Amino acid sequence: MNGLLIKGVGGLYTVYCQGQRYLVKARGKFRKDSQKPVIGDRVTFFPAQGGEDFGAITEIAPRKNQLIRPAVANIDLLMTVFAAASPQPDLLLIDKLLLSARLAQIPAMVVVNKCDLSDGEALADQYRKSGYDALCVSAHTGQGLDALRARLAGKIVAYAGQSAVGKSSLLNAVAGLNLETGAVSRIERGRHTTRHVELLALSGDTWVADTPGFSLLDAQPMDPQRLKEFYPEMRPYEKDCRFLSCNHIGEPVCGVKEAARAGLIAPQRLERYGLLFDELKEKWSRRYD
């Protein structure tokens, strides 16, 4: 049988297959191959037979992507969440999360929550210009939640974003979950040491990795020269740069900077690109330390 690994605690795993949950263990060969099963794995298994307590995993399908800490595989969609207001948006964090997702080959989208407090369209547009799907929503009024539900349907979803932007509130509103929200979850998160990761059923075949995905930030050092590849909105204007290798940060005669000045690309996003460039440059120069 084939199923989805949704939970693992101390070597005992739960596999979901056609509405049923099966308790299974991994066979010894996986430990030998140092190929431990990971939540989100598509596995071949057989259920417990006559008198046995547990079934067994016999095969793990190749992973299309994987988060390391905590380990989750085969994520179909990363929701990067920020609030239009309260807390003030940390868009540099969002840019970093989107970049890390690209590097990890995880499709990502942008969710602007709390649009009942402030209009998030201009912020969402910064990302739409960059080719991202961006939705303005409110967990409180329900604005945009049908569209969000449609984006998530049938997928394994992970989420990320600074504290208090409403990640738990959104999951609760979208799927009728009962995750802790507000101050309580923030206090507890500091003390909580996660012993296991779990995929929660949002509905039917939609799953959410119950972790805010911050491990994404520990990405490998990257050559800053490559950063512009991740900003497709710059491409049409690069032909107007004097230098073929222009990084659009301080070079004279830069078509991209011109385009930002003319409002053709979001100047704020270009500014954050510069910050990210400097940060990557610093990390890159220390990569052999």
Ligand X SMILES: Nc1nc2c(ncn2[C@@H]2O[C@H](COP(=O)(O)OP(=O)(O)OP(=O)(O)O)[C@@H](O)[C@H]2O)c(=O)[nH]1
Task: Pick the closer one to ligand X by CB: 167 or 269.
Answer: 167
Distance CA 209, CA 201 (A): 9
Among all residues, whose Cβ is closest to ligand X? 166
Strands 72-73 and 206-209, by their bridges, are unpaired
Any contact of residue 254 with Zn ion (CB under 5 A)?
yes
Q: Which residues bind ligand X (CB under 6 A)?
A: 113-114, 116-117, 138-140, 163-169, 181-182, 185-186, 212
Task: Pick the closer one to ligand X by CB: 45 or 82.
Answer: 82
Distance CA 118, CA 255 (A): 33
Count interface residues toward Zn ion (CB under 5 A). 5
Q: Of these partners, ligand X, Mg ion, Zn ion, none, which one is at the site of residue 114 (CB under 5 to 8 Å by kind)?
A: ligand X
Any contact of residue 26 with Zn ion (CB under 5 A)?
no
Task: Pick the closer one to ligand X by CB: 18 or 178.
Answer: 178
Any contact of residue 246 with Zn ion (CB under 5 A)?
yes
Task: Pick the closer one to Zn ion by CB: 7 or 248.
Answer: 248
Q: Which stretch binds Zn ion (CB under 5 A): 140-148, 158-166, 194-202, 255-263?
A: 255-263
Q: Which stretch binds Mg ion (CB under 5 A): 24-32, 73-81, 180-188, 264-272?
A: 180-188
What x-and-dash track marks residues 135-174 binding Mg ion by CB under 5 A? --------------------------------xx------
Smallest distance from the beta carbon of 112 to ligand X, in angstroms? 10
Q: Of these partners, Zn ion, ligand X, Mg ion, none, which one is at the site of residue 165 (CB under 5 to 8 Å by kind)?
A: ligand X
Distance CA 230, CA 270 (A): 12
Contact between residue 73 and residue 61 where contact means Cβ atoms under 8 Å apart: no
Any contact of residue 249 with Zn ion (CB under 5 A)?
no
Please select the residue that binds Zn ion; options are 241, 259, 266, 270, rule is CB under 5 A. Answer: 241
Please select the residue that binds Zn ion; options are 96, 248, 269, 272, rule is CB under 5 A. Answer: 248
Give 91-94's long-range contacts (Cβ < 8 A, gap of 24+).
Answer: 91/123, 91/126, 91/268, 91/269, 91/272, 92/272, 92/275, 92/276, 93/161, 93/162, 94/127, 94/161
Amino acid type, 127: Y
Binding site for Mg ion (CB under 5 A): 167-168, 185
Binding site for Zn ion (CB under 5 A): 241, 246, 248, 254, 256
